[in-house]
Amino acid sequence: MIELRYHFHNFFSKNIYLSTENRCIANLQWLLGFFTFFYPRAESTTRANMAPWHAFFGIVLFFMTIVTAETGLTQKFIFQGLLRSQEALMINFTGLLILLFGIFVGLSVILPRRNY
């Protein structure tokens, strides 16, 4: 554990840890998806059983990415001491747009689809 402290000396914020976790989870999901859905010898029942879980963890990963982006914006806002400047308004507007994007994507995935 002591060796990790010296190795990760630049990890000083929650945003860095969240982005590292997101990258690791995305790589894991990519590998599992590759071996489940593209591997030619995988059975169709295995693919059918894994598809809902793959979609669920994809949505979880998407929302974790939204949270990481929001914490990055908050970190920039706090560390630079922005209170009432134009850059502060831009950061707040960007954060609001990212949040609304996440909500609308989540709703479009969760709500049932109609076949016309």
Phi/psi region, residue 113 (left: phi>0; alpha: psi -120 to 50; beta: rest), is beta
Residue 79: pLDDT over 60: yes
Phi/psi region, residue 81 (left: phi>0; alpha: psi -120 to 50; beta: rest), is left
Query: Which residues lie below 8 Å from residue 74, measured CB to CB, with a gap of 6+?
Result: 95
pLDDT band at 22 (very low <50, low <70, confident <90, very high): very high
Residue 51: pLDDT over 50: yes
* List of domains in the chain: 13-110 (1.20.120.1770)
pLDDT at position 1: 46
Q: What is the pLDDT of residues 59-76, one digit of tens each?
A: 999 999 999 999 888 888
Q: Write down the mean pLDDT value for the chain.
A: 84
pLDDT band at 7 (very low <50, low <70, confident <90, very high): low
pLDDT at position 112: 80
Q: Which of 45, 50, 15 lies closest to 34 in space, CA to CA?
A: 50
What is the distance between the alpha carbons of residues 109 and 112, in angstroms, rounded to a whole number? 8
Q: Is the pTM of this model over 0.85?
A: no
